[in-house]
Amino acid sequence: MKVYSKKELNDYFLSLTYDDISLIPTEISQIKSRTETLTGSNFLGLDLSLPVISSPMDSVTGVEMTKTLSTLGCVGILNRFDSSLEEVISSNDKDDSIKIVSVALNASYELLKKIADRNFIVCIDTANANNQEVLNKTKEIKKNFNLKVIVGNIAHGATLQKLEDSGADAVRVGIGSGSVCTTSIQTGIGIGQVSSLLNVLMAREKHNLKIKIIADGGIKSSGDVSKALSLGADAVMLGRMLAGTRETPGEVIKYNGQLWKKYRGSASFGVKMRNEFIEGEETMIGYKGTVKNVIDSISDGLRSSMSYMNCKNLADFQKTDTFAVLSNSSYLERLPKI
């Protein structure tokens, strides 16, 4: 079996996603317990206990989610469809639990000024960052306001230099990999998340860029979180893993004796509420209880992974360079048999 480095994975002849790879411990770990590992990081000036960001989807991140994630040492991006967004931005209450807000590409000067006055980080919420209008908006924000800017999404590193030159501080990486995203089916665009991340990371290294990289999409488990961070991502963005929790917007629905909550893509009909090109699905997610349970599970899985790989902190973990490429049978062998 071949042990692959990141460069070799990036040069692999097929597009790879999380299910296609596995981390390989190749040295004796000096870590006695996973509790010794440190998962903290600094992301765009935010000190996080765990580099997890909730997606700015209307069925995932409202005010309650952003506030709860803040208490857990993570961060949420308040979605631009939230009915209380204007109130949050205009409020005299300097609530530090809300740190990032998403805005549309046509966000007004007045709205952006309010965001700047509150010292929020702004996320330009588009599906395609490889667009001149996104570059123009980023330049406009940087010229007029002292704001950090997240843009997205991209699937390849070819335009990373232009994104940083426009002023982008972070980029969301992943097109078509979300569980309720139909972009790849509808448009034929997108590659596997592992290949996307590596290509963007290699471009950042090659051009000596500083832009932060957010792994956005395709993450189904704490193991996928570990894989994304070990590949070098600065943070992971979660949608489905957080969906269905108590803190997500919307009511709990009882159906056939079970509890559910709605989950839908940002380009679904339920969000657009009009008949136009749709790139998102809608579904129901089993109710999961408090989001703290999900975050604790992710933290435990990441810490265990770091202990296997003999990495006491995330900076070391991000330097992981020993991976396996899995056959389909090898992947299936790992699944629990109940």
The rounded distance, in Å, linking the Cα atoms of 209 and 201 is 10
CA distance 56 to 118: 19
Of the candidate CATH numbers 3.20.20.70, 3.60.15.10, 3.40.50.10860, 3.30.300.30, the domain formed by 6-243+292-325 belongs to 3.20.20.70
Class of residue 106 by CB neighbours under 10 A (exposed 0-12, middle 13-18, buried 19+): exposed
Q: Are 53 and 235 in contact (CB under 8 A)?
A: yes
| Per-domain boundaries in the chain | 6-243+292-325
- One digit per residue, pLDDT tens: the chain, 338 residues? 899 999 999 999 999 999 999 999 999 999 999 999 999 999 999 999 999 999 999 999 999 999 999 999 999 999 998 888 888 888 777 678 899 999 999 999 999 999 999 999 999 999 899 999 999 999 999 999 989 999 989 999 999 999 999 999 999 999 977 656 767 677 778 799 999 999 999 999 999 999 999 999 999 999 999 999 999 999 999 999 999 999 999 899 988 889 999 988 655 444 544 455 445 578 889 999 999 999 999 999 999 999 999 999 999 999 999 999 999 999 898 888 87
pTM of the predicted model as reported, rounded to 2 decimal places: 0.92
